[in-house]
């Protein structure tokens, strides 16, 4: 702990965001990072707690607090403060394969558990992480480091999202020969097509993939394993297979009028924009456009917010976001004490932009959809909504009840469903003889990544269901350790 009084001497300071009305004219990242000197002072605010909740990754009251990767947060915070950036990078990489991703898209569970946040502002852990990894690329610390010895073992990873990439990275460093198969035209899974450029510019993914290729990982894109490439062939040619195909079945809204045109899943909408943006800077007009349209987004989470920001950049006439849950309080409720994850109101970048552009928050809380209305041509023209009340049932669980007489109609030319996902695609699991559990995820033994199919493992959202990037990385690392142990009889890989 290089500065015992750092948390008293320095106030929390974060990167400056471009003004909403300016940033909506482009799809690039819009935060100006702190200078290296100012970032070092932020590292000084860390108290090197005797019990570092920031790296705990434990569940409290049904929610995880602290980093699931068990990042050595106090250690590299202190190294940032003392200016030992290279050593900070080495400590960060011991537990996190992709800090360039998590520093941009992780909701910072570590900061929510920071002891400084108990009676003040938490340490800027995520931005310290950003400073470490970007400086590492600048100085060459993050350059490729191919393994010196190969084991002769071959592993196929199906899916190139954060879980698949983490597993591939770990196994390759161990010396196994790894091939990653991706059915899309670019590597990255939902990192590439499910998260907009504003949060994660795709050059960041491409930079890391280039490093992994230089280290010996092979990537095969445009290949749908199970159809284009038979599962039997992979099982014959590789010693082990890891399925990291994600939870790609979107949750639908089954109400009257669902067959109306111009109702799309959020992931379809976001993918079409990002692909067109990368292919030709949106010049081919093949993406699902919100330009001039009245848009209703169903879902109040991160994906719904990403849709808000993307629609605004398209030039939407208006955007409304429907949220079925009650509006969170602005400060912690007494029953939501630190170090639990704070269930408080969060206004994200898309909502900030909607407020700046349209003069009001786009979110409507405690509301659900009753019907989609169509015009004579079958196009959606409105969404009939109803307010709901949440009451405690006899079993103690909250029960949603529609409020009689609260119906209203929102005019709409485009509806985007951002209601989450319902497990993995059954066809892929069937191709490998992998059974699914009650949540439609790949079934594995408790505490294991081994499926019921011989030599086939599963990891990430495909195994645990829709989750965060940081959890996907942890799953990939743990699956890699288990695969290595099965191949070699021992392992020197570190999961967390």
Q: What is the CATH number of the domain that holds 59?
A: 1.10.1060.10
- Mean pLDDT of the region 325-345: 92
- Mean pLDDT of the region 34-51: 95
Q: What is the pLDDT of residue 405?
A: 94
Taking the mean position of all CA atoms in its chain, how far away is CA 443? Answer: 22
Q: Quick: pLDDT tens for 210-237.
A: 999 999 999 999 999 999 999 999 999 9
Shared domain for 360 and 432, answered yes or no, is no
Q: Which residue has the tokens 């800090």?
A: 99
Q: What is the pLDDT of residue 163?
A: 98
User: Would you say residue 149 lies in a domain?
Assistant: no
- Average pLDDT of the chain to the nearest whole number: 96
Of the residues 399, 417, 435, the one at which a domain ends: 417
Domain count, the chain: 3
Q: Quick: pLDDT tens for 18-42.
A: 999 999 999 999 999 999 999 999 9
How many whole angstroms separate alpha carbon 420 and alpha carbon 439?
13
User: Would you say residue 366 lies in a domain?
Assistant: yes
- Mean pLDDT of the region 152-174: 98
Q: Which of 54-63, 66-75, 243-252 has the lowest mean pLDDT?
A: 54-63
The boundaries of the domain holding residue 72 are 6-139
Q: What is the pLDDT of residue 63?
A: 87
CATH code for position 202: 3.50.50.60
Q: How confident is the model at residue 208 (pLDDT cuts 50, 70, 90)?
A: very high
How many whole angstroms separate alpha carbon 463 and alpha carbon 460?
6
Q: Which residue has the higher pLDDT, 443 or 60?
A: 443
Q: What percent of the chain has pLDDT over 90?
A: 92
Shared domain for 241 and 267, answered yes or no, is no
How many whole angstroms separate alpha carbon 45 and alpha carbon 221?
44
Shared domain for 269 and 288, answered yes or no, is yes
User: Residue 263 above 90 pLDDT?
Assistant: yes
* Contacts for 238 with CB less than 8 Å, ≥ 6 apart: 154, 155, 156, 179
Q: Are 381 and 373 in contact (CB under 8 A)?
A: yes
Taking the mean position of all CA atoms in its chain, how far away is CA 471? Answer: 9
Tokens of 101: 């991703």
Q: What is the pLDDT of residue 225?
A: 96
User: Would you say residue 254 lies in a domain?
Assistant: no
- Mean pLDDT of the region 156-178: 98
Shared domain for 242 and 283, answered yes or no, is no
Shared domain for 269 and 359, answered yes or no, is yes
User: Residue 496 above 80 pLDDT?
Assistant: no
What 8-state DSSP symbol labels residue 30? -
Q: What is the pLDDT of residue 139?
A: 97
Shared domain for 79 and 186, answered yes or no, is no
Indicate the SS3 state at residue 19.
coil
User: Residue 396 above 90 pLDDT?
Assistant: no
User: Residue 44 above 90 pLDDT?
Assistant: yes
Q: What is the pLDDT of residue 494?
A: 84
Shared domain for 52 and 88, answered yes or no, is yes
**φ/ψ (deg, to 5) at 29:** -60, 150
User: Residue 397 above 90 pLDDT?
Assistant: no
How many whole angstroms separate alpha carbon 263 and alpha carbon 416?
6
Q: How confident is the model at residue 387 (pLDDT cuts 50, 70, 90)?
A: very high
Q: Quick: pLDDT tens for 124-161.
A: 999 999 999 999 999 999 999 999 999 999 999 999 99
Q: What is the pLDDT of residue 495?
A: 75
Q: What is the pLDDT of residue 155?
A: 98
User: Would you say residue 257 lies in a domain?
Assistant: no
Q: What is the four-CA torsion angle of 94, 100, 101, 106, rounded to 10 degrees?
A: 80
Q: Are 22 and 32 in contact (CB under 8 A)?
A: no
Q: What is the pLDDT of residue 3?
A: 86
Shared domain for 399 and 290, answered yes or no, is yes
- Mean pLDDT of the region 435-453: 95
List the one residue out of 407, 447, 410, 453 whose CA is nearest residue 430.
453
Q: What is the pLDDT of residue 40?
A: 97
User: Would you say residue 1 lies in a domain?
Assistant: no
Q: What is the pLDDT of residue 285?
A: 86
Shared domain for 397 and 426, answered yes or no, is no
User: Residue 12 above 90 pLDDT?
Assistant: yes
User: Residue 394 above 90 pLDDT?
Assistant: no
User: Would you say residue 268 lies in a domain?
Assistant: yes
* Contacts for 321 with CB less than 8 Å, ≥ 6 apart: 296, 297, 299, 300, 304, 305, 307, 308, 351, 354, 362, 363, 364
Q: What is the pLDDT of residue 61?
A: 86
Q: What is the pLDDT of residue 415?
A: 98
Shared domain for 129 and 22, answered yes or no, is yes
Q: How confident is the model at residue 71 (pLDDT cuts 50, 70, 90)?
A: very high
Q: How confident is the model at residue 441 (pLDDT cuts 50, 70, 90)?
A: very high
Of the residues 99, 116, 139, the one at which a domain ends: 139
Of the residues 389, 417, 445, the one at which a domain ends: 417
Q: Quick: pLDDT tens for 289-309.
A: 999 999 999 998 999 999 999
User: Would you say residue 258 lies in a domain?
Assistant: no
One DSSP character per residue, 197-252 reads: TTTS-HHHHHHHHHHHHHTT-EEE-S--BTTTB-HHHHHHH-SEEEE------BPP
Q: How confident is the model at residue 398 (pLDDT cuts 50, 70, 90)?
A: confident
One DSSP character per residue, 266-321 reads: HHHHHHHHHHHHHHHTTTT--S---TT-EEEEE--SHHHHHHHHHHHHHT-SEEEE
Shared domain for 74 and 18, answered yes or no, is yes
User: Residue 281 above 90 pLDDT?
Assistant: yes
User: Would you say residue 315 lies in a domain?
Assistant: yes
Largest CA distance in the chain: 71
Shared domain for 276 and 174, answered yes or no, is no
Q: What is the pLDDT of residue 377?
A: 97
């Amino acid at each position: 702990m290089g500065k015992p009084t750092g948390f008293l001497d320095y106030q929390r300071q974060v990167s400056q965001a471009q003004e909403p009305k300016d940033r909506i004219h482009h799809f690039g990242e819009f935060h100006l990072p702190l200078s290296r000197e100012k970032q070092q002072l932020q590292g000084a605010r860390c108290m090197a707690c005797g019990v570092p909740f920031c790296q705990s990754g434990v569940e409290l009251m049904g929610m995880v607090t602290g980093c699931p990767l068990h990042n050595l947060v106090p250690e590299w915070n202190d190294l940032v403060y003392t200016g030992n950036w290279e050593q900070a990078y080495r400590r960060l990489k011991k537990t996190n394969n992709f800090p360039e991703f998590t520093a941009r898209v992780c909701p910072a569970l570590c900061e929510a558990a920071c002891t400084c946040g108990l009676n003040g502002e938490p340490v800027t852990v995520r931005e310290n992480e950003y400073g470490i990894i970007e400086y590492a690329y600048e100085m060459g610390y993050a350059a490729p480091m191919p393994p010196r010895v190969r084991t002769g073992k071959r592993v196929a990873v199906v899916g190139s999202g954060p879980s698949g990439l983490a597993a591939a990275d770990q196994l390759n460093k161990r010396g196994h020969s790894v091939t990653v198969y991706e059915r899309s035209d670019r590597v990255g899974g939902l990192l590439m097509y499910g998260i907009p450029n504003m949060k994660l510019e795709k050059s960041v993914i491409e930079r890391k993939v280039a490093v992994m290729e230089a280290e010996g990982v092979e990537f095969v894109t445009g290949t749908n394993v199970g159809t284009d490439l038979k599962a039997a062939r992979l099982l014959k040619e590789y010693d082990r297979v890891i399925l990291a195909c994600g939870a790609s079945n979107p949750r639908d809204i089954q109400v009257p009028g669902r067959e109306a045109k111009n109702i799309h899943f959020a992931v379809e909408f976001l993918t079409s924009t990002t692909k067109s943006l990368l292919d030709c800077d949106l010049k081919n007009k093949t993406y699902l456009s919100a330009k001039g349209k009245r848009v209703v987004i169903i879902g109040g989470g991160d994906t719904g917010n990403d849709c808000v920001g993307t629609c605004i950049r398209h030039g939407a006439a208006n955007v409304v976001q429907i949220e079925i849950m009650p509006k969170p309080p602005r400060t912690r409720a007494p029953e939501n004490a630190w170090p639990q994850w704070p269930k408080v109101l969060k206004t994200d970048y898309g909502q900030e932009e909607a407020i700046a552009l349209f003069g009001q928050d786009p979110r409507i809380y405690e509301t659900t959809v009753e019907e989609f209305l169509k015009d004579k041509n079958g196009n959606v023209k409105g969404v009939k909504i109803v307010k709901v009340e949440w009451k405690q049932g006899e079993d103690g669980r909250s029960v949603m009840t529609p409020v009689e007489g609260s119906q209203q109609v929102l005019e709409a030319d485009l509806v985007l469903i951002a209601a989450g996902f319902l497990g993995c695609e059954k066809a892929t699991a069937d191709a490998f003889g992998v059974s699914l559990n009650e949540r439609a995820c790949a079934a594995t033994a408790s505490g294991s990544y081994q499926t019921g199919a011989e030599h086939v493992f599963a990891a990430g959202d495909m195994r645990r269901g829709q989750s965060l990037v940081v959890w996907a990385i942890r799953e990939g690392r743990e699956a890699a350790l288990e695969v290595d142990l099965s191949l070699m009889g021992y392992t020197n890989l570190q999961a967390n």
